Amino acid sequence: MIKYYVRVSTVEQKLDRQLLAYDKADIIYSDKVSGKDKERPQLKAMLQDLKENDVVVVKSLDRLSRSTMDLLEIAKEIQDKGATLKVLDKDIDTSTPIGKFFLTIIGAVAELERENIRARVLEGVEIAKQEGKYKGRKKGSIELKGDSLERFKQFYKKNFNKTELSKEFGVPRATIYRWEKVLRERGDI
């Protein structure tokens, strides 16, 4: 079976470009969540549903993962199930040794670029701080306690997405990710 995995980072973004790029799939799995997060419902479902000789198709590597480690873990899980991975825009096919090699190299380059972008952003923030243009977030703006904490846990358990939670609590989505991480570490969700 051919399983096509598509992903965009936010609910507002459209899957159309990816869906138009490939029309031979037997089944399509789609997520609307960041590629940094390996905990994606449709990715998990696809990996669980994989059978021997299945083919996982993605338009580009960053649709599968933005982390080299995660990418290689996902590719290994696909391989362990006896399936293969095809990446359309790089013409990679992991059923061949050269395909496996290129997947590793391209994944490493993608992660390097992401780290370079992060470094440039941090440099920009530092310059803005020196010029007095950047003050950072307000103290306490990410605290979650009392009634707000209980309300957040209720919304979270009802599977509200990050954008909905962000709007509901009046904080950036990045804050929602931090809250989620802290609450998971504490075992609260």
Which residues are registered as beta bridge partners of 32? 8
Which residues, other chains included, contact 184 with Cβ-Cβ below 8 Å and sequence gap of 6+?
A: none
Long-range contacts of 148-157 (CB under 8 A, 24+ apart): 149/188, 152/179, 152/183, 153/183, 153/188, 153/189, 156/180, 156/183, 156/189, 157/189
Our answer to whether residue 65 is catalytic in this structure is no
Listed residue (2, 84, 5, 76) closest to 44, CA to CA: 5
Selecting among 9, 34, 60, 166, the annotated active-site residue is: 9
The catalytic residue positions are: 9
